[in-house]
Amino acid sequence: MMEKTFLMVKPDAVQRGLIGTIIARFESKGFKLLAGKLMTISDTLVQKHYAEHQGKPFYADLVSFMTSGPVFAMVWEGEDIIQIARLMMGPTDPKKALPGTIRGDFATRMNRNVIHGSDSAESASREIGLFFDNSELIDW
């Protein structure tokens, strides 16, 4: 099914100069970039984005990490992209992410895990709406 997903290069990966490498993986796979922007995110936006994790032990660190420097937020489109992008990212825990996946190749720590990707169609549409105005998505 043709789908859109929200992907975000996290502050650790922006700092390490990995934006281009990460974009290249999704381009080479055959997916289409519809929108992308370098931005700093407010506490309010992180809290909305990660509302489901509020109250968890790692939540405070997650919020301070995500607001510690710029992120690169993107919308991508492709066949079954939500599931395939998650395979390409690898599991949240870098100890379980195989080499060849983004986290397997570039991350060692759960709380500095390089990239975020939507986990379902509902999350994708919610997250795209939080970070982008409809007019920012290019139809091409």
* SS3 state of residue 90: coil
Cβ of residue 26: shortest distance to ligand CMP, in angstroms?
16
Closer Cβ to ligand CMP, 5 or 113, answer by number: 113
Say how many CA atoms lie within 13 Å of 59 toward its Cβ: 13
**Residue 111 binds ligand CMP (CB under 6 A):** yes
Find the shortest distance in angstroms from Cβ 120 to ligand CMP: 12
Q: Does 92 bind ligand CMP (CB under 6 A)?
A: yes
Evaluated on CA atoms 78, 102, 24, 53, the torsion sign reads: positive
CB 66 within 8 A of CB 8: no
Smallest separation, CB 115 to ligand CMP (Å): 8
User: What does the DSSP assignment read for 94-108?
Assistant: TTTPPBTBHHHHH--
Phi-psi region at 9: left, alpha or beta (left = phi > 0; alpha = psi -120 to 50): beta
Residue window 36-75: x/- pattern of binding to ligand CMP, with contact defined by CB under 6 A: -----------------x----x---x-------------
Residue 135: in which H helix or E strand, if any?
none
Tell me whether residue 116 is one of the annotated catalytic residues.
Answer: yes
Exactly one of 4, 94, 116, 118 binds ligand CMP (CB under 6 A); that residue is 116
Q: Which residues are known binding-site members?
A: 10, 58, 86, 92, 103, 113
Residues that bind ligand CMP (CB under 6 A): 53, 58, 62, 92, 110-111, 113, 116
